[in-house]
Chain A
């Protein structure tokens, strides 16, 4: 279907970006608000199964004028939301956890209690732009900031080994080298530069500004997407049941349509794959309105521990806060 306005999904993802600004509203309407759903009935992602999906127009002639009018409106709306989203950097400044409490002042009592509990373990958060890449951008910053602060050279050597392994994986899966090499080298450049004492070394401020730079940030996000996709395909048998349960598509189709394109959101499957491939443990803390029927409110979290380091001793140093549809970075006490 060809409607004369700008591409659809960007908008849906920009809406997700509203989370930080107006989390209460979004939390209340966990799924997309009804009118929004209506406005995006032409969203390719709702119908598309990835490579090969194609289609035509289905507006009846008598509805056409109206549909054009509506499209023009949608286009304006989309542009406004996009502009709003662009004002928010990919990675924002660190904020005390009290900022989160203030945001939920009028929210449900369960959420307020959970935020109070979060405060016992965490001191600060750093928000990221909600454009469908927030998981990867959060992970990028949290990981590199950790290396910058700890100067853990053995960890850098370890991850470099895994990165090389990921390259081999992509090669053996038949990816042409030029499709991924630039993304790998941009990531390795960032990793190299957070280690101090070299001409290329960078400070936390510079890391932040690079993480806000579209080129660097997008290339690193894409590096993670390649790594994630490679891991899922390499262990297709392991991931298949998760994927068919989630989307009813083949592993390959899933990678093509839900992992490799920019802006496609990150689910459990992606996190497992990325964590395993890079050998980095990730803690995801869930902030939602779920609660146990009996017993006090507790904040749930899940640790993604890489399959290779199954000795259980790995305490994740990357901690992300998940709210339905969005990831931010959390800082421990």
Chain B
């Protein structure tokens, strides 16, 4: 499987495992519109297909999200990145890292994989320009050692996209 950064390798706690199994069942019964979970036997890493919404810059384009769950999910946020090639977006880096507050400091155990997916799609849909973040090259270069986006100090200043 492709991976652009080292996922958390500690195995899931029992409570995390139970929670994820329930999320998976719920996903199968009621998948969020525009997403497809690619079935694997790995509960700790989900690969999810995203289809750009109609009427947006990303209509009919397909991308893949990789979601890695930490040992203490849902107390800790999952690590969510696009598997390159990542969509051209002012808040998405070419290595797939996403600058979105709910993936980091504003994460809450009240959220789910499904709600995170919906937030990402809404971030894509509201984009008015297809371009990389200004600091893309610099940031990506600094991630070469396999740094996780969760180790980044993000600054969320844009509440429109």
Contacts and interface: CB of A to CB of B under 8 A. Distances in A.
Interface of A: 1-9, 42-45, 47-59, 64, 71, 74-75, 175-176, 178-180, 182-183, 218-219, 222, 225-226, 229, 256-257, 260-263
Contacts of B99: 1-2, 54-56
Contacts of B26: 176, 178
B2 interface: no
Contact of A2 (B90, B107, B112, B154): B154
A174 to B, nearest CB: 11
B108 interface: yes
Contacts, number: 162
Given A176-B112, A180-B110, A182-B19, A51 B102 contact: yes
Given A175-B110, A256-B108, A48 B153 contact: no
B61 interface: no
Given A2-B135, A180-B110, A182-B19, A55 B156 contact: yes
Given A3-B155, A179-B110, A8 B19 contact: no
A55 B123 contact: no
Contacts of B107: 261
B38 to A, nearest CB: 22
Given A2-B93, A6-B153, A55-B154, A183 B105 contact: no
Interface string B127-161: 00000011100110010000100111111111101
| Max chain B C-beta neighbours (<10 A), residue from A51, A56, A219, A225 | A56
Interface string B80-103: 000000000011010001111110
Contacts of A45: 105
A69 B152 CA distance: 15
Contact of B123 (A6, A54, A74, A257): A54
B15 interface: yes
A47 B155 contact: yes
Contacts of B110: 175, 179-180, 225-226, 229, 260
Interface in B1-53: 15, 18-19, 22-23, 26
A267 B77 CA distance: 24
Given A179-B112, A222-B75, A53 B156 contact: yes
Contacts of B152: 2-5, 7
A179 B123 CA distance: 23
Contact of B91 (A4, A56, A64, A74): A56
B70 to A, nearest CB: 14
20 contacts: A3-B154, A4-B152, A5-B153, A48-B159, A50-B101, A50-B106, A52-B101, A54-B91, A54-B101, A54-B158, A54-B161, A57-B133, A57-B138, A58-B157, A59-B135, A179-B74, A179-B109, A218-B75, A260-B109, A262-B75
Contacts of A218: 75
A182 B101 CA distance: 25
A47 B156 contact: yes
A56 B94 CA distance: 13
A51 B106 contact: yes
